[in-house]
Amino acid sequence: MGLKPLAEALRRGQQPLAVVDRSRGYHRPSGARLAGLMACDSFEPWLSRRTARRMSPASRSAVCAARMALDAAGLSATAEPDGSTAVCLGTSYGSTNYATDLLHQIQDPGPLGISPLLFMETVANAHAGQIALAVGATGPNLTISQREASGLLTLARGADWIRVGRARRVLAGCVDEVSPILHAILDRFGALARSSSTEDLEVARVFDADRNGFVIADGATVLILESAAEAEQRGAATLATVAASARANDPSASVSDWGAGHVQLARRLTGRLKAQGVDLASIDLVVSGASGSRRGDRLEALVLREAFGNDLPVVLAPKAVTGEYGGGFLASAFLALDGIDWAATPGFRRADPELDLTPHAGEPLARPERILVTSLAAGGAACWVVLDRSTA
Amino acid sequence: MERIVVTGLGAVSPHGLGVERLWKGLRSGRTAIGEVNLFDATRHRTQLAGISETGEVPLGAAARRLSRADLFAIEAARQAFADAGLAGAESRADAGVFFGSSTGGMFEGERVFFDNLKGQQKSRTRARARMWAAQPVCSPANAVARMFGLHGPLETCATACAAATMAFESALESLRSGEVSLAIAGGSDGLCEMTHGGFNSLRAVSAQPTRPFRADRDGLNLGEGSGVVVLETETHASARGATVLGELAGAGSSCDAHHMTAPQPEGLGAQLAIERALQDAGVKAGEIDFINAHGTGTLHNDCAEWNALCRVFGEGAGDLPLTSSKGSVGHLLGACGGLEAVVTLLCLRAGEVHPTPGGGQVGPDCPVDLVLDQPRDLPEARTALSLNLAFGGANAALVLRGAAPGASS
């Protein structure tokens, strides 16, 4: 819970992995076993046990993260009831634990025995709704689901809302939970890191020549977005400024994998940033959403190479530590901007000659002024956000 | 601020493929709600829904990994692009996709899951397992972007019954900001056993064809399908000589922050969404000519919606012609806002509001001016409101305008 354990994991380059429950029969015998699981059975003081019992694991994480963010921002735990506080939350799969339980109920005892609570929490926007209920946020309430790009898309959309006045304050972020069935399905699709014939170790080898998949993780990250003027007026410490964002799609992507449209994506990235007055030459550091996926990392590397040419700055790959989906990636981007110590990319051993990209190797990093955060999703969606370090 | 115009419409609904069949069905005053045939509905408390047919787009092998919701979306998008005169790939390559969905390919996911539980033959299970790829809620939007070769932003709004309406809001922002000059917006959803059983567990489903805003209303019927529009900046439409069908004048949204499954009874959240949409459009409440209501037919929704209308429109609320498309096609969940935006534009184009099927008296707790029995002529109607309220307390509203008489770009 909180940013400190995440910062420590990034500093040490340690993936907090645990064995997934394989007792329900969804997994192949030789399939993947590990995931980044939250080792937390109490959410107090952010959420009482009684309230937590009425929520899915994803909703619990989301509400806790929202309350922690409000607290860290020096804001009241309850929003003003004037519709000015919005929620924009991303999720890739929602509560797959509750969805599985609901499907079991449909089978036995049958549809007449379905629990309304389970159903309510399987709806994709349940987590954003629970945040709104918990903090009294009566502004726009949007859930974005675009697989691996969900979290970063909420940051871009939330910033848009502030700019055009749809909200004065936005709780933006993402949440996901690991369930045995989601883990098993992604493994069957060959998406997850797995042991090799020479090594009994499931590690996300981001950008490595031998990468063979990502590690999924659960958890949530919520950020508070507001205008610079608003933050200044209330004397808030500003963590970062959203300088620009870009969104795109790669139609060459298949249903469940990444495509090969790096030229078009890079063109879209540079064009959109330029339109917002941001030159890629001003980027000090890239916080990459690469995860260890074979095709995803390839596309990411080729987009960065196409966009930056020979001037690619240091590339951090936090998903080598945080895993995919859980929100840790989004929080890592802000930690990178804060200038924390950052270990060499765990799992990276051998550069892929096709990618020509070696992620951060552990050398001391100067505190960046401006970073580019990237997310390319299976299925084609892409999002990039440029964050500036606050001068306040 | 540049106007955002509508230049193409597409629909897959329980009335059939295409906007003409939809409009004909709506005008007839008959309901397209019938027996559920996708799964064994006899095990459920109720057995009715609005079932749609999938399109006939020649997709070949690619169709094997597409869900019903994907196919609805692709067919509706194909119609909308054709309607907009954007059949050529080059003409639409930079378009953004803003889609609402609630269940995505859950129906197909369920089939795989139940096969596994029943210990079906491995070959059959393996064949169906690839359908899991289409299970995520973003699958319909991805399918549209992929099939039509679109490179612009791709955003799936998964805000339950307000999803597609919020997708319009996102599209509007991206168009106004200059991020894109062309977008396809709407929603697509397929019926699945989880939502049918889930809404039944909430006792929200009627065993009869739904009767929105009636005194004896007792719940909704689910539905499935897709409603899609092509949006573009007026400058872009003008430059290519497109025919303007209408205008997305404004959008607004809010959250009740009251209850996960019940609307705020006084309609405070819905009021805020409507007021924001009106403000965004620069339209006064008195300029609204009719309303396409969320109108689910549940006791609580229709009453809360009426209260919201009273708060916005005052004493005139009861004089505003109002219809509920859900009475005719069912509740399309994440897609309902897409289809209802299409319907609202069709009403504006025709100068008449379609009737809400079913008999019975309007409820004393929601005494709206419900259009009944036959279409109501509104030849002077220029501006309309489409409203959607969702699980989790989310509310979203659109202000739509018809094309000026004789308008082209």
Per-residue pLDDT at A112 exceeds 80: yes
Are A18 and A154 members of one domain? yes
> Domain ranges in chain B?
4-402
pLDDT band of B359, cuts 50, 70, 90: confident
In tens, the pLDDT along A24-41 reads 878 888 889 999 998 777
The answer to whether residue A27 neighbours chain B at the CB level (below 8 Å) is no
Mean of per-residue pLDDT scores for chain A: 94
Are A228 and A251 members of one domain? no
pLDDT in the model for residue B405: 67
CATH number at residue A136: 3.40.47.10
Can B366 be counted among the known catalytic residues? no
In angstroms, the CA A214 to CA B205 distance is 41
Cα dist from B48 to A54, A85, A129, B35, B328, whole Å = 30, 39, 28, 5, 12
- CB < 8 Å to A138, chain B: 254-257, 269, 272
In tens, the pLDDT along A358-373 reads 999 999 999 999 999 9
- Tell me the residue range of the domain where A381 lies: 240-389
Are A250 and A370 members of one domain? yes
Per-residue pLDDT at A196 exceeds 90: no
**Helix, strand, or coil here: B211?**
coil
Least confident of A53-57, B212-216, B218-222, B280-284: A53-57
Are A229 and A244 members of one domain? no
pLDDT in the model for residue A198: 67
Binary contact (A99, B194; C-beta < 8 A): yes
Mean pLDDT of A144-154: 97
Are A249 and A134 members of one domain? no
How many structural domains comprise chain A?
2
pLDDT in the model for residue A189: 85
Mutate: best of B107, B130, B142, B147, partner A, most A CBs <10 A: B142
Angle between helices A294-308 and A262-275 (to 10 degrees): 50
% chain A with pLDDT above 90: 84
Mean pLDDT of A176-195: 90
Binary contact (A119, B117; C-beta < 8 A): no
Binary contact (B170, A157; C-beta < 8 A): yes
Determine the distance in angstroms separating the CA of B113 from the nearest CA of chain A, rounded to an integer.
8
Per-residue pLDDT at B116 exceeds 90: no
pLDDT band of B127, cuts 50, 70, 90: low
Task: Say which of B15, B196, B294, B354 is annotated catalytic.
Answer: B294
Can B354 be counted among the known catalytic residues? no
- CB < 8 Å to B38, chain A: none
Least confident of A93-102, B53-62, B258-267: B53-62
Are A40 and A174 members of one domain? yes
Can B15 be counted among the known catalytic residues? no
Task: Say which of B236, B331, B336, B354 is annotated catalytic.
Answer: B331
In tens, the pLDDT along A292-338 reads 999 999 999 999 999 999 999 999 999 999 999 988 999 999 999 99
Binary contact (A380, B65; C-beta < 8 A): no
Q: Look up residue A92 and give its amino acid.
A: S
Phi-psi region of B257 (alpha: psi -120 to 50; beta: other; left: phi over 0): left
Q: Rounded to the nearest 5°, which phi and psi values hold at A222? A: -130, 135
Q: Which residues pair with A173 in a beta bridge?
A: A89, A222
Are A41 and A177 members of one domain? yes
B246, B348 contact by CB (below 8 A) = yes
Of A107, A139, A145, the CB nearest to B117: A107
Which residues are within 8 A (CB) of B21 and not within 5 positions of it... i.e. 6 or more apart? B13, B15
Identify the closest residue of chain B to A84 by CA–CA distance.
B254
Mutate: best of A26, A92, A143, A263, partner B, most B CBs <10 A: A143
Determine the distance in angstroms separating the CA of A181 from the nearest CA of chain B, rounded to an integer.
10
The alpha carbons of chain B give a radius of gyration, in whole angstroms, of 20
Binary contact (A125, B390; C-beta < 8 A): yes
CA terminus-to-terminus distance, chain A: 27
Per-residue pLDDT at B389 exceeds 70: yes
Are A171 and A308 members of one domain? no
3 state SS for chain A: CCHHHHHHHHHHCCCCCEECCCCCCCCCCCCCCEEECCCCCCCCCCCCHHHHCCCCHHHHHHHHHHHHHHHHCCCCCCCCCCCCEEEEEECCCCCHHHHHHHHHHHHCCCHHHCCHHHHHHHCCCHHHHHHHHHHCCCCCEEEECCHHHHHHHHHHHHHHHHHHCCCCEEEEEEEECCCHHHHHHHHHCCCECCCCCCCCCCCCCCCECCCCCECEECEEEEEEEECHHHHHHCCCCCCEEEEEEEEEECCCCCCCCCCCCHHHHHHHHHHHHHHCCCCHHHCCEEECCCCCCHHHHHHHHHHHHHHHCCCCCEEECCHHHHCECCCHHHHHHHHHHCCCCCCCCCCCCCECCCCCCCCCCCCCCCCCCEEEEEEECCCCEEEEEEEEECCC
Q: Rounded to the nearest 5°, which phi and psi values hold at B393? A: 85, 5
Per-residue pLDDT at B227 exceeds 90: yes
Binary contact (A145, B158; C-beta < 8 A): yes
Q: Which CATH class is domain B4-402?
A: alpha beta
In tens, the pLDDT along B46-61 reads 999 999 998 776 667 6
Task: Say which of B157, B161, B192, B336 is annotated catalytic.
Answer: B161
| Among candidate residues A203, A233, A263, the one where a domain is terminated | A233
Are A111 and A129 members of one domain? yes
pLDDT band of B125, cuts 50, 70, 90: low
Binary contact (B137, A253; C-beta < 8 A): no
Per-residue pLDDT at A231 exceeds 60: yes
Are A50 and A188 members of one domain? yes
Determine the distance in angstroms separating the CA of A89 from the nearest CA of chain B, rounded to an integer.
10
Phi-psi region of A219 (alpha: psi -120 to 50; beta: other; left: phi over 0): left
Tell me whether residue A229 is exposed, middle or buried, using C-beta atoms within 10 angstroms of its C-beta: 0 to 12, 13 to 18, 19 or more.
Answer: exposed
Determine the distance in angstroms separating the CA of B293 from the nearest CA of chain A, rounded to an integer.
19
Binary contact (B254, A140; C-beta < 8 A): yes
Of A124, A145, A251, the CB nearest to B150: A251
pLDDT in the model for residue B295: 97
Are A177 and A318 members of one domain? no
Q: The tokens 């917002």 sit on which residue?
A: A276
| Among candidate residues A195, A217, A233, the one where a domain is terminated | A233
Per-residue pLDDT at B90 exceeds 90: no
Per-residue pLDDT at A81 exceeds 90: no
Does the ipTM exceed 0.90? yes
Per-residue pLDDT at B122 exceeds 60: no
- CB < 8 Å to A251, chain B: 145-146, 148-151
The answer to whether residue A160 neighbours chain B at the CB level (below 8 Å) is yes
Furthest CA-CA distance within chain B: 64
According to DSSP, residue B314 is labeled: G
Tell me whether residue B61 is exposed, middle or buried, using C-beta atoms within 10 angstroms of its C-beta: 0 to 12, 13 to 18, 19 or more.
Answer: exposed
Are A13 and A137 members of one domain? yes
In tens, the pLDDT along A256-288 reads 899 999 999 999 999 999 999 999 999 999 999
**Chains A, B: CB contacts under 8 A, how many?**
225
Identify the closest residue of chain A to B44 by CA–CA distance.
A111
In angstroms, the CA B14 to CA B24 distance is 12
pLDDT in the model for residue B130: 66
| Among candidate residues A182, A210, A233, the one where a domain is terminated | A233
Identify which of A307, A198, A207 has the alpha carbon closest to the alpha carbon of residue A248: A307
Per-residue pLDDT at B168 exceeds 60: yes
